[in-house]
Structure 1
Amino acid sequence: MDFRWVVNLMDSFRVKQVRIRHSVLMALFFLGAYSQVSAEVRFNVNALDLEDRENIDLERFSAAGFVLPGIYRMGVRINDRVLPEQEVLFFVPKESSKESVPCLTPKLVKQFEFKEEVNQKLVWSEGGQCLNLSELTWLEARGNLQKNTVQVSVPHIYQKYTVDNWDPPSSWDDGIGGIMLDYNLNGMYRRDLNSSSSTKSLSGNGVLGVNYDAWRFRAAWQASANESSYSGDIQRDSSFTRFYAYRPIPELGAKLTVGESSLGSMVFDSFNFTGASINSEDKMLPPNLRGYAPEIVGFAKTNAKVTVSEQGRVVYETTVPAGPFRIQELHSAISGALDVRIEEQDGSISEYQMNTANIPYLSRPGSVRYRLSIGQATEYVRENKGVTFAAGEYSWGVSNGLSLYGGAVVGDGYSSFALGLGRDLWSFGAVSFDTTHAIAKGVSQEDISGNSYKLSYSKRFDEYNSQVTFAGYRFSDKTFMNMNEYLNRLNEGDTRGNGKDMYRLMFNKTFDSGLSAYISFDRETYWDRETTNYYNLSVSDSFSIGNIKNASVNLSIYKNIRDNTENNGVYLSFSFPLGNGNSVDLNTNYANGSSTNTIGYYGRLDENSSYRVSAGNGENQTARGGAYYRHTGSIGDYSVNAGFQDSAYQSLGMSAQGGMTLTAEGGALHRLSTLGGARLLVDTGGVSNVPVLGNGKATFTNGLGNAVVSDVDSYSRSAVKVDLNKLPDNVEASGAVVQMTLTEGAIGYKKMDVIAGYKAMAVLKLDDGTSPPFGAQVMNKDKRQVAIVGEGGSVYLTGLNPGMQMMVNWGDSEQCIMIVPKDAEFGKGFNVNLNLECKMNNK
């Protein structure tokens, strides 16, 4: 008999059932649909075309969502919000002899985030251990074994929070304990054709971390090695730049940090210190109430290494291809002045400094945002003299749109006090103004005091598709010193470098025609040092020429001046798509009095691998060329590049970024999103090569059935799913999506219902030669329903492997155990006429 029509029909309904006649299958299908909305169903077995109408067990179909009493490990879904898997007891209430219900414990109900007046009206049963569902007509809870989920439906009016894609604190998961090692490596080799000398460099940074309960222990490291054939010297440097630990305090909406840290203030200039701090955490707020994360823009003449550091500590390092770049992956806690260093393939180096923006410091009406710190302020060099201090700052939402903020830093020899006002101007944006007074002792014969004034503005013009991300101005007296300037004078005796004026503007606009523009402007003047400037203008648009659609043009103009050294340039690029993700580009770059022209080809080998080759002329019309290849894999991101210019240089470069996470539940090598950041360990029960998706490209499970997905966000609901389009033929996933809300730095853990094995149409026989009753359930080792027995014991099974066992239930208990013989032979694809013995359970 040809069973293909049965398989196709079952696949269309996502039901792994049994080989039965068409009338029986359709009857069960409509019965299951009706039982979801009906309290009780009377099923007429005479309507079934069965030879043995006495051997039938359809009792569970008579009640909506009937689940055999017992304890199951299931996910809990509250409306559209998914809670972590947990043990759920199903029982039959005293008032009902046929309907089973899940036991919603006080601990579980707390995660529903009911309003306080609702909590006071809840009624409990079973000795106060289970919510009495019969008394709550507005709440519905039912189990679904096939989806392995308890579905709870609650009207939003009874809950505190109803923000999309954001979960309240009760749903946050601290994850499991584990160890992580995240790394970022960059290497470069350059040969000077004029002097025949060469240089080699290797640098890296990363984080070594340990998670225990809600605590995150971290050690940030950086290392470099440089070798020159001209001098023969090898310079090596390596250090742990920070040792610290932190944990969330959800009850306060705050984060506690101990160890080496930075002030990260919204009021005062940031500085390094060793001690402890507790601060309200913006990331714990709903997305629309969160703050600003810094970004870096710049331009690379060749394939180049870009290093971003804060007071000597590397916070970000990457390799970028030639052209303009924009780095938006910096942590939102980074603040203050950032040093940017661009090392080109031709050996040239450009450096400039960018100040991160502090958008107007506003708080919701009646709420208070705060930061409290205590410890010893230090420079990057730990051996230098420090200053014992205590600091605090706040922002209080006085009324709707008005915030009062300020703070103080009080230390041994240094103190500063600030007070400011923030105002939401509604359709005109948001603005804040504050003043800071500082007093420094012990660096001269008399106390030195001064003031600093700051004005900030931010506005999004929706009607014009434009946004002033930040606009700010700051003026400081000649005698004003921030903590870093005070420490520098205390340790080095340097009296130069105090800031005077600082201007900063970031603006972007998108025009109706599709043209977009981005402007970034930074200017800082000093009382006794040269002015620093940084300007960047980028304009891009798309157009069509004949049959060429969606071509694009990009114009970038940049200029930076630092220590009387000027770097400026103009970059013009045209890109023409060729289909399948491939394109040809034409580029002209004029920088510091010299120009280059190149033509390049960008191609994709597959969705994870891309490359670019280019050729053209450089300075003095000399030939030049380059190549860049990048691969995004399951265990990391890798790139290699090469370049040359006739009679000038030859170069090779590489970069690698990734991480390793190990826990008691398993571990894996993986790609990296944020050093030391949150990640989710996915367990597919030992099934390898399963593609799982987070916010980025698919990651495949290793030989142990583990994969770590790192592109998940802290305090935001993250969904990870199995990519069914890439699933191997012998693998099936019934629970294809898991959701989780992780706290910062957590290692989440989720087990997905994935099975690997053969598919077969089997016939079950009991010890006495009879068959299990029609409608009996087939359960796997995790007590999840995988099939329903049909007429004569026929059943459609997946994930079969020699030696495995499954339970068959009917009535109110486990009745027999089905064992697949160890010597069973399976063919490829779909197997038929497999006879399996089901031994009665005599317990």
Structure 2
Amino acid sequence: MSNIKKVFTHTPVYFAVLAAVTCFFPAGTAGAKPSFNAAFLTDDLSDADVSDLSRFESGGYQPPGNYLVELSVNNDFVSSSEITFTELKNKEGEPYLFPCFSAETIMGFGVNIARPEELTEQDKQCFPFTEKIPGSEYHFDFQKQRLMLSFPQASLSGQARGYIPPDRWESGIPALFMNYFASGNNNSDNTSSYYVNLNSGFNLGAWQFRQSSSWNYNKSKNTSNSQWRSLMNYVQRPIIALKSQLVIGDGNSDGSVFDSAGFRGVRLFSVDNMYPDSQQGYAPTVRGMAKTDAKVVIRQNGYVIYQVYVPPGPFVINDLNPATSSGDLQVTVEEKDGTQQQYIVPYSTLPVLQREGRVKYDVMAGEFRSGNSNQDKPKFVQATLLAGLTRDISVYTGTQLADKYKSVLVGVGQNIGRFGAFSFDVTHANSELADGSNHSGQSFRFLYAKSLNTTGTTFQLLGYRYSTKGFYTLNDVAYKQMSGYEFAPDGEDGDDGKPIIINYHNLLYNKKGRFQVNISQSFDQYGSLYLSGNQQSYWNRSGKDEWYQAGYSNSWNGINYSVSLSTTKALEIKERDNMLSVNVSVPFSSFSSRNARSNDAFNNAYATFSATNNSGGREAYRVGVNGTLLEDRNLSYSVSQGHVSQQGYNGSAGLDYQGTYGDFGISYNYDPDQNQLNYRASGAVLLHENGFTFGQSINDTTVLVKAPGAAGVAVENYTGVKTDWRGYAIIPYASAYRNNRIALNPDSFNDNTEIKNNVQNVVPISGAVARATFDTSIGIRALLSLTHNGKPIRFGSMVQETGSQISSIADDDGRVYLTGLPLTGKLLVQWGNQPGDQCTADYDFTRQEIKGPLLRTALECK
């Protein structure tokens, strides 16, 4: 393959001019190869007046160079990238463009390359995949700037769908950040309260430090108190080779096997997000037999969730990503001769189920940390292991070890086909309580899930746990006394100055049996019904804690409505509390014409109504209006008026703004007892090598947009996020280990802003501050009339500003349109390959008045 000696980066303006040129050469014309006189492109110019355009004589030709394209592989989007295209010739000697990828990049797409060690150095740099891999092909849509690669199934390495090679995962940039949340209220009875929460962090490579603290202040009529607390401090980093995360410091253990427990120590655990979506959670392995080259289509609840082409013989599909947690899979094998095979693979799942071959672990050692002053801080070790076996069986086990507590758990789970999925485990524990007594007991847990497709019924979770009289948890053993009250932390006393009771424990009444249920029933267009609830019984006490809720919801012509009934019975309270609730939401758009603008304030407003009635005779009603304003719909408002029986009227009004530099809100509430003013602010400040950037609150993983000089540019799909006056912005949240498409909205560019490629792609690790850098040209837009020796420069001449490298092509009047042009610089004009086929023009527009968005002027090229 020939190497390209000179590479041009082509601008959108270049594509527009080139399209005008190439439209004279229709591609794919049958018959003899056409010959074209370039002078026909002008009215009365001689051949000498036209730049050398012989390279365009073949229909559909585009020059080699670097093109910014949307790249996809086998119909899966990969990234928006700058790809080098080299010029090759077909058997007829006609030139065409070939995308240049290194062999390593091709293998990164999940494609096998036979004997890569035998490749020449040239093939390693620009791998001829269409020659080396039979059946592979590509299509370059020049007008849409899309490059689509296609590789046959037989050449793929078996990587799961959505797989992103770890070498693309970014640790991000060194950065220091702080999230803040501040709120306060002032009441008409001269009481007030204020709260501040700070979450800060520092990233250096893959290491990440995190710190969380809070401050609260309460003022009543006679007293005031305040408290500053450090909540969590820890260091973390991913261990990519193990697909795991290491945490040193404060944290919480996983709650899928044992109850989650706070700790201060060290934890190493498997991270599901490091696997592609098609490998996360549980899904059955689909096996079958194809008689010919066949297409396998898998549907769930009527929707296609997987499609693949397979060769003759047995096939195994183990990278399914079901759309829901239950719903049988319908497999169709479409043979090459038109015949079909169809069969059902039943599917239901539970949290403990794992895919075949997957092993998931969690190990931690440290000090028990609950934040409860009534509990000690015993040192303990916890380890859990879950493994997916064949026949849709999963096994799991775990242990908790402390000085006064030892427990071990074993369990099994299985997708049992059309009967659903279940799991069963037993835990044995030996405990020493606060009074010195020793206890030994067991706890048995059963979980079940099933979806009945024919009736639309889903048993999302049906569970029961039974514990013997001598069974206690690690949380129970940590208590300093057999019984006692738990109070709110210091500084959070009630209005009367007394501590607030938030919990009560008595180890003599340990838990006995717990039943929980969550069932939903769909009626298609007629709405859906749900039932959920639980009940808990205790040893040495009669009665149970009970809570159940049933509800129905539906929509009609955009109007949403729901009704629910709940019943609650606490063990220490004799009477049962029943409550009926009705909610209705009506969009104002239901009363407007279909041609009304979608961003109109009227069409973005809703009227709401709610009513509740409980068994104590308390009735409450509320009507209100809420909606969004501004072009980006980032200003929300709400106004409501209500009435409560035996209390009187109440009301509220509020505004919330989600902007570039944070979120801000204010509201006013009143009732017969008092009036209250509430206010809040939240956001983040990020320190990086280019300075400080303010923005919305960061959610663990974030992206810093760097578009120097491009102020006020909106970021697509992130409400209220725009670049600051320097061209920087904080993307408040990003998906770890996933491709994140960061796009700047071209409609928000000002007249002096040009961005070479408004789309960047980043794949950050969890907790990273990734950076999306955009190549900006901040300058004027100019339509320049260039002359050389008293005549317009030749049609098709390449014009480039030597400093910024921006370029374009001259039209038949010697005019060239350039964007992002600096106020001073030098233009290089080339119309051929000979040394004399060029000239230069120096310019200085600093003293020239620019009227409107476009500068029009003439320059002489020498």
1:798 aligns with 2:819: yes
Instruction: Tell me how far apart the structure 2 counterparts of residues 36 and 158 of structure 1 sit (CA, whole Å).
Output: 34
Write out aligned runs for 1:234-245 (5 A): 234-245=224-235
Instruction: Tell me how far apart the structure 2 counterparts of residues 120 and 777 of structure 1 sit (CA, whole Å).
Output: 40
In structure 2, relative to structure 1, the CA distance for the partners of 1:803 and 1:508 (3 Å cut) is farther
Write out aligned runs for 1:459-498 (5 A): 459-489=450-480, 495-496=507-508, 498=510
Instruction: Tell me how far apart the structure 2 counterparts of residues 274 and 172 of structure 1 sit (CA, whole Å).
Output: 29
Instruction: Tell me how far apart the structure 1 counterparts of residues 270 and 571 of structure 2 sit (CA, whole Å).
Output: 38
Instruction: Tell me how far apart the structure 2 counterparts of residues 642 and 408 of structure 1 sit (CA, whole Å).
Output: 51
SS state at 2:21 partner:
helix
Aligned to 2:202, which of 185, 197, 210?
Answer: 210
The residue type equivalent to 1:625 in the other structure is G
SS state at 2:558 partner:
strand
* Contact 1:364 1:400 (8 Å CA) reproduced: no
Aligned to 2:187, which of 178, 187, 190?
Answer: 190
SS state at 2:525 partner:
coil
Q: Give the aligned partner of residue 642 of structure 1.
A: 668
* Contact 1:458 1:469 (8 Å CA) reproduced: yes
1:172 aligns with 2:166: no
In structure 2, relative to structure 1, the CA distance for the partners of 1:807 and 1:36 (3 Å cut) is farther
* Contact 1:147 1:735 (8 Å CA) reproduced: no
Q: Identity rate of aligned residues, in percent?
A: 24
1:555 aligns with 2:532: no
Q: Give the aligned partner of residue 858 of structure 2.
A: 835
Q: Give the aligned partner of residue 703 of structure 2.
A: 680
Q: For the aligned residues, what is the CA RMSD?
A: 4.3
SS state at 2:22 partner:
helix
SS state at 1:399 partner:
coil
Aligned to 1:629, which of 650, 655, 658?
Answer: 655
Cα deviations by residue, 1:331-366 (Å, 9 ceiling, x for unpaired): xxxxxxxxxxxxxxxxxxxxxxxxxxx934111112
Q: Give the aligned partner of residue 132 of structure 2.
A: 136
* Contact 1:175 1:747 (8 Å CA) reproduced: yes
Aligned to 2:551, which of 538, 543, 551?
Answer: 538
Cα deviations by residue, 1:720-740 (Å, 9 ceiling, x for unpaired): 323345554655555333333
* Contact 2:530 2:550 (8 Å CA) reproduced: yes
In structure 2, relative to structure 1, the CA distance for the partners of 1:806 and 1:113 (3 Å cut) is farther
In structure 2, relative to structure 1, the CA distance for the partners of 1:217 and 1:655 (3 Å cut) is same
The residue type equivalent to 1:681 in the other structure is L
In structure 2, relative to structure 1, the CA distance for the partners of 1:568 and 1:687 (3 Å cut) is farther
Q: Give the aligned partner of residue 276 of structure 2.
A: 286
Q: Give the aligned partner of residue 678 of structure 2.
A: 653
The residue type equivalent to 1:538 in the other structure is G
In structure 2, relative to structure 1, the CA distance for the partners of 1:582 and 1:443 (3 Å cut) is closer
The residue type equivalent to 2:213 in the other structure is W
* Contact 2:169 2:763 (8 Å CA) reproduced: yes
Instruction: Tell me how far apart the structure 2 counterparts of residues 464 and 168 of structure 1 sit (CA, whole Å).
Output: 42
Instruction: Tell me how far apart the structure 1 counterparts of residues 178 and 751 of structure 2 sit (CA, whole Å).
Output: 34
* Contact 2:281 2:354 (8 Å CA) reproduced: no
The residue type equivalent to 1:512 in the other structure is D
1:26 aligns with 2:51: no
* Contact 1:777 1:785 (8 Å CA) reproduced: no
SS state at 1:373 partner:
strand
Q: Give the aligned partner of residue 298 of structure 1.
A: none
The residue type equivalent to 2:132 in the other structure is L
1:56 aligns with 2:59: no
Q: Give the aligned partner of residue 704 of structure 1.
A: 726
TM-score under structure 1 length normalisation: 0.76
Q: What is the Cα deviation at residue 182 of structure 1?
A: 1.8
In structure 2, relative to structure 1, the CA distance for the partners of 1:410 and 1:723 (3 Å cut) is same
In structure 2, relative to structure 1, the CA distance for the partners of 1:706 and 1:537 (3 Å cut) is farther
Instruction: Tell me how far apart the structure 2 counterparts of residues 163 and 97 of structure 1 sit (CA, whole Å).
Output: 39
* Contact 2:660 2:724 (8 Å CA) reproduced: no
Q: What is the Cα deviation at residue 208 of structure 1?
A: 0.7
Q: Give the aligned partner of residue 761 of structure 2.
A: 739
In structure 2, relative to structure 1, the CA distance for the partners of 1:215 and 1:531 (3 Å cut) is farther
Q: Give the aligned partner of residue 511 of structure 1.
A: 523
Instruction: Tell me how far apart the structure 1 counterparts of residues 749 and 582 of structure 2 sit (CA, whole Å).
Output: 43
Write out aligned runs for 1:395-434 (5 A): 395-434=386-425
The residue type equivalent to 1:240 in the other structure is S
SS state at 1:513 partner:
helix
Q: What is the Cα deviation at residue 743 of structure 1?
A: 2.2
In structure 2, relative to structure 1, the CA distance for the partners of 1:291 and 1:378 (3 Å cut) is same
Q: What is the Cα deviation at residue 253 of structure 1?
A: 2.4
Instruction: Tell me how far apart the structure 2 counterparts of residues 584 and 82 of structure 1 sit (CA, whole Å).
Output: 41
Aligned to 2:534, which of 522, 535, 549?
Answer: 522
In structure 2, relative to structure 1, the CA distance for the partners of 1:392 and 1:227 (3 Å cut) is same
Instruction: Tell me how far apart the structure 2 counterparts of residues 525 and 164 of structure 1 sit (CA, whole Å).
Output: 46
The residue type equivalent to 1:513 in the other structure is Q
Q: Give the aligned partner of residue 365 of structure 1.
A: 356
* Contact 2:623 2:642 (8 Å CA) reproduced: yes
Instruction: Tell me how far apart the structure 2 counterparts of residues 835 and 211 of structure 1 sit (CA, whole Å).
Output: 52
Instruction: Tell me how far apart the structure 1 counterparts of residues 767 and 508 of structure 2 sit (CA, whole Å).
Output: 40
Which structure has more relative contact order (CA 8 Å, sep 6+)? It is 1
Instruction: Tell me how far apart the structure 2 counterparts of residues 82 and 804 of structure 1 sit (CA, whole Å).
Output: 39
Aligned to 2:636, which of 591, 610, 613?
Answer: 610
Instruction: Tell me how far apart the structure 1 counterparts of residues 681 and 269 of structure 2 sit (CA, whole Å).
Output: 34
Aligned to 1:586, which of 606, 609, 614?
Answer: 609
Q: What is the Cα deviation at residue 423 of structure 1?
A: 0.5
Cα deviations by residue, 1:487-511 (Å, 9 ceiling, x for unpaired): 2258989634532222233333432
The residue type equivalent to 2:613 in the other structure is Y
* Contact 2:273 2:280 (8 Å CA) reproduced: yes
Instruction: Tell me how far apart the structure 2 counterparts of residues 59 and 490 of structure 1 sit (CA, whole Å).
Output: 93
Q: Give the aligned partner of residue 317 of structure 2.
A: none
Write out aligned runs for 1:725-736 (5 A): 725-728=747-750, 731=753, 735-736=757-758
In structure 2, relative to structure 1, the CA distance for the partners of 1:698 and 1:641 (3 Å cut) is closer
Q: What is the Cα deviation at residue 271 of structure 1?
A: 1.0
Give the gaps of 5 or more residues in structure 1.
Answer: 1-12, 192-196, 293-357, 544-548
Cα deviations by residue, 1:683-719 (Å, 9 ceiling, x for unpaired): 233111111113x425221101112222432233332
Cα deviations by residue, 1:355-393 (Å, 9 ceiling, x for unpaired): xxx934111112212212233333326997533333322
Q: What is the Cα deviation at residue 827 of structure 1?
A: 1.6
**How many pairs are equivalent?**
735
* Contact 1:35 1:61 (8 Å CA) reproduced: no
Cα deviations by residue, 1:418-456 (Å, 9 ceiling, x for unpaired): 111110133443211111112235856564322111112
Q: What is the Cα deviation at residue 633 of structure 1?
A: 2.0
Q: What is the Cα deviation at residue 805 of structure 1?
A: 5.9
SS state at 1:16 partner:
helix
SS state at 1:484 partner:
helix
1:391 aligns with 2:404: no
Instruction: Tell me how far apart the structure 2 counterparts of residues 106 and 250 of structure 1 sit (CA, whole Å).
Output: 24
Q: What is the Cα deviation at residue 635 of structure 1?
A: 2.6
SS state at 1:374 partner:
strand
Write out aligned runs for 1:51-450 (5 A): 51-54=45-48, 55-58=50-53, 61=56, 66-68=63-65, 78=73, 104-105=101-102, 108-115=105-112, 118=114, 120=116, 123-126=119-122, 130-131=126-127, 135-136=131-132, 154-155=151-152, 157-160=154-157, 167-191=164-188, 197-229=189-221, 231=222, 233-287=223-277, 289-291=279-281, 359-380=350-371, 385-441=376-432, 447-450=438-441
In structure 2, relative to structure 1, the CA distance for the partners of 1:479 and 1:747 (3 Å cut) is same
In structure 2, relative to structure 1, the CA distance for the partners of 1:272 and 1:683 (3 Å cut) is same
The residue type equivalent to 1:220 in the other structure is S
Q: What is the Cα deviation at residue 793 of structure 1?
A: 3.3
The residue type equivalent to 1:123 in the other structure is L
